[in-house]
């Protein structure tokens, strides 16, 4: 008999293991195909405690754990149960657990999630994975930081089909849903023979059984008027829109308000559903259309007016990408509200009663006047030109109609030339067509002249509206030039966008040198913001924002012919073409050379990919390189100091992308600039 029991227990255990989907692991007997990188710290499997961990008992910076190859043609949810334990909670360089997505054909891993908060118990993270036809791996990285006693443990990784906001509450981690604690009223787990409430609780909806589970909130502990309990979903990590449905049961003895909200990262609440006051003696289905184009939480909130209010039970939250109301029509695409003005005005237009206030212009590469922001030699908009400048002149540029009740982040680049007084020379208004009202949301206060500077504005209006760029010339003597380029619109607040995870393969040098390091030698690259020390050479500001950081060589610290190298770490080789985009600045009469090389692992040869010789332009210019490497490789930027100290060379905004370049530079190796200097094309 004991033998039969043992076999039965073993069979149940094997059945449970068999139910685990590919990529899922409870770390009971094995690592389920997950492998650690032996170039870094080892992970330790604790079968008796059902977890895997790494700690500071070994010397090293990090530990890396990679999943087996995975496929996900349907939307799926990754749930990670983990713990970070540290002796100090205020370390300047704390331990961190990162989760990356390593897709086939990509040289860079995409950071999906990162956590550094230490805790005394297990925590849960929920991450949406969009459907893809590409093979991928999940990569866990534990960074040990500077704390002398730190451990990082992973209890479970679970990958399920569907969306992270879905839940039937049958598992003990509750799908990552959390109760916002209140001294008097809270959401509790009901069912499973749990009986700790004075209310008569229902069977659950999933199993229609007293053994099934659901969430409920009871009024029995209410002590104040309008006591509120909140159940908060995991935050969405990818844009979703469709039909949110759930089952609820409501026992009503006095006023209960049951409401569902969306809450964005800036804390803004939007009500999407509210129950009527009818009594629901059985499970009732609720369906509501909802859209989360940027990270949001779903909040189920119950407000009681007395201790005899009754209770609300909730179960089987699900989501479908098809709207409940069968509504048709494509969702709003914010890309249609932006423009780089390379081809035309896109969906922008001018009010002709003001005259042609904004002109679309192009400046050829030269050493006197900066070109556009997009490429350095493309088109941009110019107001207050010699054709239009007159006292009292106003130029208005209208954008397309934007839907109401959505949070937007407007980004654009502007440059000012020749103004004595900058205040009011460029302003942004919101025009509400229904009310014929214009509201100023931004105006320029001060800006370095002749530098493309980024502006970001968050706004949200209840009604449809338009963005209007207004340039005002108050008097003839104050009229200068106002330039505008690279207008873009994204969903969500600009502050929330700053919290988003970095684009893989992108380096703006705003925080550090990213994947690049210096190759030892006499010459060196420097990370800097603002103009370089020597006049008539180098940029006035960076390309990313106009006030950020870039990398450059300081020619006054070098001798003629001296070289400086900026070398990437080893990058993963892939089959197929890759595209490298970057911006370079080569201004100064003595400018030398800037070259880009590809060095394959195990080979000594540095393959030249691109080169520019001599002074190119006063603008930041875009460089494009298409290359291939099926083995691991490094990219090297080499700058050579020219004949004089006016030889500062800079680079910024490096981006590696899988696939061929959408545009191709006709000349990869060139010197000098065109003979036609300072010509403006209208």
Q: What is the mean pLDDT of residues 292-314?
A: 86
Q: What is the mean pLDDT of residues 458-484?
A: 83
Give the domain range for residue 573: 506-681
User: Does the pLDDT of residue 17 top 50, yes or no?
Assistant: no
Task: Give the least confident one: 104-113, 115-124, 673-682.
Answer: 673-682
Secondary structure letter of residue 613 according to DSSP? E
Q: What is the pLDDT of residues 391-450, one digit of tens each?
A: 566 788 999 999 988 889 999 999 988 766 666 789 999 998 776 778 999 998 877 778
Q: What is the mean pLDDT of residues 327-342?
A: 84
Q: Is residue 390 part of a domain?
A: yes
Task: Give the least confident one: 113-117, 305-309, 489-493, 497-501.
Answer: 497-501
Structural domains counted in the chain:
4
User: Where residue 671 falls among pLDDT bands split at 50, 70, 90?
Assistant: low
What DSSP line would sit under 434-490, residue for residue? TTTEEEEEEE-----TT--EEEEEEEEESS-EEEEEEEEE-SGGG--EEEEEEEEEE
Q: Is residue 250 part of a domain?
A: yes
Q: What angle do CA 553, 503, 485 make, to 5 degrees?
A: 70
Q: Is residue 479 part of a domain?
A: yes
Q: What is the mean pLDDT of residues 253-260?
A: 83
User: Where residue 368 falls among pLDDT bands split at 50, 70, 90?
Assistant: confident
Q: Is residue 7 part of a domain?
A: no
Q: pLDDT exceeding 90 applies to what percent of the chain?
A: 55
User: Where residue 675 falls among pLDDT bands split at 50, 70, 90?
Assistant: very low
Q: What is the mean pLDDT of residues 148-156?
A: 91
Domain end among 475, 499, 523: 499
Residues 537, 643 share a domain: yes
Give the other-Cβ count within 10 Å of 535's Cβ: 10
What SS3 class is residue 185?
coil
Domain end among 127, 161, 195: 161
Residues 517, 495 share a domain: no
- The Cα 315–Cα 175 span in angstroms is 12
Residues 584, 565 share a domain: yes
User: Where residue 9 falls among pLDDT bands split at 50, 70, 90?
Assistant: very low
Residues 662, 530 share a domain: yes
Residues 537, 662 share a domain: yes
Residues 232, 365 share a domain: no
pLDDT of residue 657: 93
Residues 436, 418 share a domain: yes
Q: What is the pLDDT of residues 633-644, one digit of tens each?
A: 999 999 999 999
Question: In whole angstroms, what separates CA 139 from the centre of its chain?
Answer: 19
3-state percent breakdown (helix, strand, coil) of the chain, nearest 5 = 5, 45, 45
Task: Give the least confident one: 131-145, 304-318, 350-364, 559-573.
Answer: 350-364
Residues 54, 27 share a domain: yes
- The Cα 401–Cα 11 span in angstroms is 62
- Are the C-beta atoms of residues 75 and 163 closer than 8 Å to each other? yes
User: Where residue 184 falls among pLDDT bands split at 50, 70, 90?
Assistant: confident
User: Does the pLDDT of residue 168 top 50, yes or no?
Assistant: yes
pLDDT of residue 1: 38
Q: What is the mean pLDDT of residues 654-665?
A: 89
Q: What is the pLDDT of residues 210-244, one digit of tens each?
A: 888 999 998 887 877 778 999 999 999 888 889 99
pLDDT of residue 475: 65
User: Does the pLDDT of residue 121 top 80, yes or no?
Assistant: yes
Residues 235, 275 share a domain: yes
pLDDT of residue 328: 57
Q: What is the pLDDT of residues 576-626, one digit of tens each?
A: 899 999 999 999 999 999 999 999 999 999 999 999 999 999 999 999 999
Q: What is the mean pLDDT of residues 141-156?
A: 90
Q: Is residue 348 part of a domain?
A: yes
Mean of the per-residue pLDDT values of the chain: 86
Q: Is residue 464 part of a domain?
A: yes
Task: Give the least confident one: 55-69, 545-559, 659-673.
Answer: 659-673
User: Does the pLDDT of residue 478 top 90, yes or no?
Assistant: no
659's tokens: 């696939």
User: Does the pLDDT of residue 337 top 50, yes or no?
Assistant: yes
User: Where residue 12 falls among pLDDT bands split at 50, 70, 90?
Assistant: very low
Cα atoms found within 13 Å of the Cα of residue 77, Cβ hemisphere only: 20
Q: What is the mean pLDDT of residues 185-194?
A: 82
pLDDT of residue 341: 97
327's tokens: 């509504």
User: Does the pLDDT of residue 198 top 50, yes or no?
Assistant: no
pLDDT of residue 674: 45
Residues 82, 67 share a domain: yes
User: Where residue 282 falls among pLDDT bands split at 50, 70, 90?
Assistant: confident
User: Where residue 251 falls among pLDDT bands split at 50, 70, 90?
Assistant: confident
Question: In whole angstroms, what separates CA 354 from the centre of its chain?
Answer: 39
Q: What is the mean pLDDT of residues 562-570?
A: 94
Query: Higher-confidence residue: 438 or 651?
Result: 651
Alpha helices in 181-326 (DSSP H): none
Domain end among 499, 522, 557: 499
Pairing of strands 574-586, 593-600: unpaired
* pTM for this prediction: 0.84
Residues 624, 490 share a domain: no
Query: Higher-confidence residue: 306 or 606?
Result: 606
Strongest mean pLDDT among 194-203, 595-604, 665-674? 595-604
pLDDT of residue 253: 66
Q: Is residue 468 part of a domain?
A: yes
Residues 6+ apart with CB under 8 A from 125: 79, 80, 82, 99, 113, 115, 176, 234
Of 393, 398, 389, 377, the residue nearest 481 (C-alpha): 389
pLDDT of residue 356: 61
Query: Higher-confidence residue: 81 or 680?
Result: 81
Secondary structure letter of residue 202 according to DSSP? P
CATH of the domain at 22: 2.60.120.200
Give the other-Cβ count within 10 Å of 89's Cβ: 10
Give the other-Cβ count within 10 Å of 569's Cβ: 11
pLDDT of residue 239: 86
- The Cα 531–Cα 677 span in angstroms is 23
**Which strands make up the sheet holding 280-292, listed edge to edge?**
187-191, 213-218, 310-320, 240-252, 280-292
Q: Is residue 326 part of a domain?
A: no
- Torsion on CA atoms 192, 195, 196, 197, rounded to nearest 10: 110
- Are the C-beta atoms of residues 268 and 459 closer than 8 Å to each other? no
Residues 519, 495 share a domain: no
Pairing of strands 150-161, 51-55: antiparallel
């Amino acid at each position: 008999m004991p033998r039969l029991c043992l076999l039965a227990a073993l069979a149940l255990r094997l059945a449970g293991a068999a139910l685990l989907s590919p990529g899922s692991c409870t770390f009971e007997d094995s690592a389920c195909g997950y492998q650690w990188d032996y170039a870094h710290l080892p992970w330790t499997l604790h079968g008796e405690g059902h977890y895997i961990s790494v700690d500071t008992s070994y010397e090293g910076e990090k530990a890396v754990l990679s999943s087996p190859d995975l496929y996900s043609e349907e939307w799926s949810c990754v749930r990670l149960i983990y713990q970070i334990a540290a002796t100090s909670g205020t370390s300047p360089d704390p331990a961190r657990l990162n989760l990356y997505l390593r897709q086939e054909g990509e040289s860079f891993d995409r950071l999906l999630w990162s956590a550094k908060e230490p805790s005394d118990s297990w925590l849960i993270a929920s991450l949406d994975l969009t459907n893809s036809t590409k093979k991928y791996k999940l990569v866990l990285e534990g960074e040990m930081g500077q704390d002398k006693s730190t451990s990082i443990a992973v209890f479970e990784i679970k990958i399920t089909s569907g969306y992270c906001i879905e839940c039937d509450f049958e598992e003990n981690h509750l799908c990552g849903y959390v109760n916002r604690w209140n001294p008097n009223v809270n959401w509790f787990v009901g069912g499973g023979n749990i009986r700790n409430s004075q209310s008569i609780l229902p069977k659950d909806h999933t199993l229609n059984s007293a053994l099934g589970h659901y969430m409920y909130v009871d009024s029995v502990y209410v002590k104040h008027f309008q006591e509120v309990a909140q159940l908060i979903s995991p935050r969405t990590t990818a844009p979703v829109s469709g039909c949110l449905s759930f089952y609820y049961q409501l026992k009503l003895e006095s006023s209960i308000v049951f409401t569902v909200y969306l809450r964005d990262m800036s804390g803004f609440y939007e009500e999407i559903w509210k129950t009527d006051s009818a009594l629901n003696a059985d499970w009732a289905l609720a369906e509501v259309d909802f859209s989360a184009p940027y990270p949001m939480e779903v909040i189920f909130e119950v407000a009681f007016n007395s201790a005899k209010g009754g209770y609300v039970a909730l179960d089987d939250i699900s989501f479908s990408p098809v709207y409940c109301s069968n509504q048709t029509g494509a969702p709003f695409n914010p890309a249609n509200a932006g423009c780089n003005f390379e081809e035309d005005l896109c969906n922008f237009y001018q009010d002709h009663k003001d005259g042609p206030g904004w002109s679309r212009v192009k400046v050829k590469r030269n050493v006197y006047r900066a070109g556009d922001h997009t490429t350095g030699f493309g088109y941009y908009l110019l107001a207050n030109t010699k054709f239009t400048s007159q006292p009292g002149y106003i130029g208005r540029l209208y954008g397309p109609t934007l839907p109401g009740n959505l949070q937007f982040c407007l980004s654009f680049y502007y440059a000012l030339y020749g103004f004595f007084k900058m205040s009011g020379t460029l302003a942004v208004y919101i025009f509400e067509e229904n009310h014929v009202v214009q509201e100023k949301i931004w105006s320029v206060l001060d800006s370095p002249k002749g530098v493309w500077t980024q502006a970001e504005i968050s706004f949200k209006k209840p009604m449809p509206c338009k963005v209007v760029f207004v340039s005002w010339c108050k008097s003839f003597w104050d009229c200068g030039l106002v330039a505008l380029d690279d207008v873009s619109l994204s969903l969500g607040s600009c502050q929330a966008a700053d919290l988003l995870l970095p684009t893989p393969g992108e380096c703006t040098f705003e925080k550090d040198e990213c994947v690049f390091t210096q190759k030892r030698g006499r010459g060196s690259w420097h990370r800097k913001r603002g103009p370089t020390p020597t006049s008539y050479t180098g940029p006035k500001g960076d390309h990313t924002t106009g006030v950020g950081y870039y990398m450059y060589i300081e020619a006054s610290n070098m001798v003629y012919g001296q070289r400086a190298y900026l070398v990437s770490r080893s990058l993963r080789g892939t089959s197929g073409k890759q595209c490298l985009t970057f911006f370079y600045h080569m201004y100064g009469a003595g400018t030398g050379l800037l070259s880009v090389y590809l060095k394959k692992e195990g080979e000594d040869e540095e393959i030249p990919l691109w080169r520019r010789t001599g002074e190119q332009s006063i603008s930041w210019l875009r460089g494009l390189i298409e290359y291939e490497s099926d083995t691991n490789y490094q990219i090297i930027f080499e700058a050579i100091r020219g004949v004089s100290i006016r030889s500062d060379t800079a680079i910024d905004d490096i981006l590696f992308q899988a696939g061929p370049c959408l545009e191709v530079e006709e000349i990869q190796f060139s010197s000098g600039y065109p003979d036609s200097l300072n010509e403006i094309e209208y």
